Amino acid sequence: MIASPKTAREQAAIPEWLVKVCLALAVANVALCPAAYFASWWIYNPEGLGIPTDFINVWAAGRLVLEGVPAQAYDWDIQKQVEVAKLGQDFTGYFAWHYPPPFLLVASLLAMLPYSVGYAGWVYVSMLPYLAVMRAIVGHNLGILIALAIPTVLMNTYAGQNGFLTAALIGGTIYLIPVRPVLAGICLGLLTYKPQYGLLFPVVLIAAGHWRVFISAAVTAVALALASAVALGFESWLAFFHWMPRFSQAFLTEGKATWWKLQSIFSLVRYFGGSEPLGWAFQWVLTASVAVVLALMWRSRVPYTLKAAALAVGTLLTTPYLFVYDMMVLAIPIGFIVRIGLKSGFRSYELPALGAVVALITCYMFTGIPTGFGATLLVGALILRRAGSWWRHEPAPRAVAVGAAI
């Protein structure tokens, strides 16, 4: 099939070295964990014992649901007993369950499978919608390579975490807002499994008047909550709210997860010895600033692509509880930046800056220094620099088609 003129121009705009670098990183990220599995460095160790990683809390929570006691998944000590029994060895600390009850339904499905199948299956199945969203955002097959080249792919895969799902839901919501508002709202409603990443969406949806998205999200969230209450009992919701203060105390006051593992401005202040009130002061100032900027941006004549990218970055900047695997979401604004570059050409500093973002995340992998916040700020700076020449306060025209919207 002969490519359209637009496609041909986009393909010509892609630097060959960029494709080669993304391909090399993608192959490494995809291949390392399977290779580690056969070398007994992933899922099981050489003695055949389970390696303690984050996925064990998903499997254990699901096991408790299958045993008919879903509320006990929120009890740290009971949860750990199930985890230790499954892994065949003890470990320091806790892998605690702190997600709202609807996500217990997913955990119960995974717990029906053999542990290694559930672990790998969860990672690679949840990767599929993430790849589809990135392909749509970039508007080119390069989007798939970029999606797999982000260093957080390896970290999320190894830990068996849900970063792919979070990125897919946030990216899907933002991409679909102008063209499929009801479906966008469904994606946003599903994101309530991690409610800390939905704080900014009501702000921008109200500012831009996207009421169908807003209503669809609200209906989806309520339906999920009711379905989980019916399936699991209201006790699961009572347990969730009962244990939430302990989660907050442990992670955000006592630093049980250790500050270097978190990638927010709050944790960065704590990492460098700042007090909790000082950390919250920085966090709330940043959150308020981002919310104001986004509200103004979404009411302005800034192109939707930049609004979308800014919102994705904002979801990371406004939560204090941000682990590195959650930074899979950073692929979403990077995808929008690449889309703009393919359409209108990259500015001289943009690809080197994105290379610096990859370097900062990689630096965390090898040093344990919380460089993720710097990576997020750098992507945000690229977006604001692009938006500067279009900044206006007049209401933006509504988009009627994908091409017009993004």
Q: pLDDT tens digits, residue range 96-106?
A: 999 999 999 99
CA atoms within 13 A on the CB side of 385: 14
Mean pLDDT of the chain: 92
Indicate the pLDDT class of residue 403, thresholds 50, 70 and 90: very low
Range from 9-13, 134-138, 363-367 carrying the lowest mean pLDDT: 9-13
pLDDT tens digits, 305-323: 999 999 999 999 999 999 9
pLDDT tens digits, 210-232: 999 999 999 999 999 999 999 99
Give me the pLDDT at residue 405, please: 52
pLDDT tens digits, 251-269: 888 888 889 999 999 999 9
Indicate if the pLDDT at residue 90 is higher than 90: yes
- CA 130 → CA 23, 153, 155, 210, distances in Å? 17, 11, 15, 24
Stretch 73-85: mean pLDDT, rounded?
96
SS3 state at 369: coil
For 323, phi then psi, to 5°, come to: -85, 165
Give me the pLDDT at residue 257, please: 83
Give me the pLDDT at residue 179, please: 95
Indicate if the pLDDT at residue 393 is higher than 60: no
Give me the pLDDT at residue 122, please: 97
- The 10 Å Cβ neighbour count of residue 43 is 19
What is the token pair recorded at 290?
A: 């981002």
Indicate if the pLDDT at residue 1 is higher than 90: no
Stretch 290-304: mean pLDDT, rounded?
94
d(CA 345, CA 308): 19
pLDDT tens digits, 20-36: 999 999 999 999 999 99
Indicate the pLDDT class of residue 396, thresholds 50, 70 and 90: very low
For 391, phi then psi, to 5°, come to: -65, 120
pLDDT tens digits, 340-366: 999 999 999 999 999 999 999 999 999
pTM of the model: 0.93
Give me the pLDDT at residue 69, please: 97
d(CA 268, CA 246): 21
d(CA 286, CA 102): 30
Indicate the pLDDT class of residue 374, thresholds 50, 70 and 90: very high
Q: Of all residues in the chain, what percent carry a pLDDT higher than 70?
A: 92
Q: Of all residues in the chain, what percent carry a pLDDT higher than 90?
A: 86
- The 10 Å Cβ neighbour count of residue 88 is 12
Q: Answer for the pair 300, 396: CB distance below 8 angstroms, yes or no.
A: yes
Burial of 349 per CB tally in 10 Å (0-12, 13-18, 19+): exposed
Indicate the pLDDT class of residue 14, thresholds 50, 70 and 90: confident
Give me the pLDDT at residue 255, please: 86
Give me the pLDDT at residue 399, please: 43
Q: Is the dihedral of CA 236, 199, 212, 176 positive or negative?
A: negative
d(CA 405, CA 398): 8
